[in-house]
């Protein structure tokens, strides 16, 4: 997808995410969607998969937002276009975590885990969480890119959750934090 900043008629800045119809990884999208119980009856075909993908990201963001997960508010979608709340200041989008290490990495890490727990409680797993898909907005994490997010009913939900945890732990270990993946998983799922 391509992501653009845009101004609405009222001057409010938004993010516009446009999925490229010709160059999207259709097979990867289909792998995620076909395992999602919410999308068992959509019409096959490249365009329909991409349109379902956008609707899925919108629905996932809405559900995450309702669970108080720190995500951009989804505003609307149509076909292969998704419009989201702008996360940033003075027209400059908040940097990705990979590009802006938090001042208090332990506190930031704990906020990520809290958000992962809320997402899990809402019945979702991000399925692509990493330092690339978390913004550092004023020292607070904001999760982005929810198109791969899936329900806990998915046969691969456990794998995705463990992969998300591993990605986050690897990043924070690289910047000097001592974190244990098993302990993090226990905090998220409450086992």
| Catalytic annotation, pick one of 90, 99, 145, 180 | 145
What is the rounded CA–CA span in Å between residue 149 and residue 126? 4
DSSP 39-87: GTTPPPSHHHHHHHHHHHHHHHHHHHHHTT---PPEEEEETTEEEEE--
H or E element: which one contains 33?
helix 26-34
| Residue 36 designated active-site | no
| Catalytic annotation, pick one of 90, 128, 164, 180 | 128
**Could you give the residue numbers annotated as active site?**
128, 145
């Amino acid at each position: 997808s391509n992501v653009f900043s845009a101004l609405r008629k009222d001057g409010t800045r938004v993010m516009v995410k446009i999925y490229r119809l010709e160059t999207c990884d259709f097979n990867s999208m289909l792998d995620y969607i076909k395992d999602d119980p919410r999308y068992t009856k959509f019409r096959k075909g490249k365009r329909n998969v991409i349109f379902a993908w956008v609707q899925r990201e919108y629905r996932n963001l809405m559900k995450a937002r309702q669970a108080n997960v720190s995500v951009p508010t989804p505003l609307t979608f149509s076909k292969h276009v998704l419009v989201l709340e702008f996360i940033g200041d003075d027209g400059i989008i908040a940097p990705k975590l990979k590009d802006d290490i938090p001042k208090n990495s332990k506190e930031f890490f704990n906020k990520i885990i809290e958000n992962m727990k809320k997402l899990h409680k809402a019945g979702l797993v991000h399925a692509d969480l990493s330092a690339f898909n978390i913004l550092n907005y004023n020292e607070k994490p904001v999760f982005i890119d929810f198109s791969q997010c899936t329900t806990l009913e998915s046969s691969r939900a456990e794998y995705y959750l463990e992969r998300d945890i591993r990605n986050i732990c690897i990043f924070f270990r690289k910047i000097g934090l001592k974190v244990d993946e098993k302990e993090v998983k226990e905090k998220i799922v409450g086992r």
